[in-house]
Structure 1
Amino acid sequence: MAQSNLYSRVLGTGSYLPPNRVTNQDLADRLAKQGIETSDEWIVARTGIHARHFADPDVTTSDLALIAAQRAIESADIDPQTIDLIVVATSTPDFVFPSVACLLQDKLQIKNGGAAFDIQAVCSGFAYAVATVDALIRSGQHRTALIVGAETFSRILDFNDRTTCVLFGDGAGAVILQASDEPGVVASALHADGSYTNILCTPGHVNGGIVAGSAFLHMDGQAVFKLAVNVLEKVALEALEKANMSPDQVDWLIPHQANIRIMSHTCRKLGLPQERMIVTVGEHGNTSAASIPLALDFAVRDGRIKRGQNVLIEGVGGGFTWGASVIRY
């Protein structure tokens, strides 16, 4: 039975970027060999992205998740065997099944029989995972949870399409949430509208041992931009209203790191100074479900985010899905 005074709070954070840093010029040179023109200036002007990281061919999503998870566990200073719930947000799993969460549980050698599953909400995946895990902890079903956002999006990019291949990168971010009598995750809001499936999707599927349809990411950039700027402000305000807070009480905004123009637009609409927004998109690119926990960990470790501060996270992604959470760090 749910305990009315039970909450979840963030104990620790961790992240990992594969070492292969790919600059805009690296991509421009690669595309030029295929007769496709782009430039560092063109990419930066439209996205704010200067570089991203790509995993080596033999590195899997669960490999990235493992290092981020280990760093979060070390930060939280807990015994991994106390983790009774693992949730991984990803759109680029190692296999069709089992889940990355189960693979991660094995790699961490956690043998306590706790639950493990993946959440597929694309770039909103981490926001969905936080809201889901918070509800499970508040219900009393679980006490200590590992949440990871991990992606190898480089595997689904079409390097003949300069409008999409320059946007995405690989990486992983993780948090430990644990039951507490003091609020940590204060409030969340989640939404979806499946009628927008066609504007951002990877429509391939396995059939008869081969990939049927396209296994590359497809995106209508203008339609995605228009939808994103509309829903992000609304879901942020909804989560703040549930938390009985106003935007001026937000110490830090961590939006999904997709495009600096979308991020800055949302920040302005909320009436927040740009200095209160955590920005890592310039060096990470869009790492989908990994982008928010990556940015969170970077800002915790460089000392910007401090205990007791209010952090607003929000994301929007294919599905279409969107969500936000207010977290008292």
Structure 2
Amino acid sequence: MNVASILLFLVLYSCDKDDIKAEAINKSLDITIDNENLKLTNSSISSNESCNGVFASCKYDSSNNLGFRIEFRLTKNGALKNITLYDYRNENMHFETADFNPKGLMTITNFEYDQTKNYLHFNFKGELLEQSYSDELDVDKKRKHIEGTITIQDVRNTECTSFISDLNFETNNLKFSTNLSYSSFDSVLKKAPYQFYFYSDNGNCTIFKSNKNLWNLDIGTYTFNKNSIENRIDLEQYIGIFRATQLLWVRPIDWKKFQTTGSYTIKEHTIINGEKVTKGEMNLQVYDNGVLLHNINNGKFEVIGFK
């Protein structure tokens, strides 16, 4: 092999090595847990989107095989559902964001999600809580500080085969973004047996109380006042201690009830992925002992009806 060939071989070999070193980073997590700073990339992170949510799971393994796993769940408009930390280095302790009001101890900033580009980015900063059990609902638990940034450029698409009820509105002093919803039917309640619950990520709950399944209400506007029992909307605020249970224990003593007047308009009934979905808008005035707290106009709701 002559000198020119050797030089060419070395140049090509060097380029190959540079290409290997310059592996593109399409997923990254920069995180501080208490006072420890770590960075995870690519294969340490998995992510996907489904229906109205985005999810990321990040795993760190140390040299002695003791590490941690942290999972992020948000809606596609940035509402915080849950952050969970499994710390295998610390007696497998389990930490989570607070029930009902996860943003009470955790802030999400610079949120960006582009579904067409499969791009997700946000900053997070705050405290997670050691998991509580049924006999510890009123006990302050250990907290763990985390902060950092996550960026994912290849969020995996997952086909949505269901539908999730949603409600959102914004006033000068309250932004309501649903992070959890469910419905119930109680035959004991003669006036409003159908109830549809929407929880926000900042500790508020909006409840539709109806004498009929919303799917069976005629298209049109329904008004109510403070004394109405049926076909009304209530707003409550979580006032219990910060706790994380996974089971989301709902206790009346943990919620402050307000007085409400207003109206809601059923605009459309449609079938989505086999689910009966009612769409509409709401206007709501919220009072605390006669003092107007919130004046909500044109809030949007999409509710799954009962089968």
For the aligned pair, the TM-score class normalised by the smaller chain equals under 0.3
Higher RCO by CA contacts (8 Å cutoff, separation 6 or greater): 1
More helix by share: 1
Scaled by the length of structure 2, the TM-score of the pair is: 0.26
Scaled by the length of structure 1, the TM-score of the pair is: 0.25
Pair member with larger Rg = 2
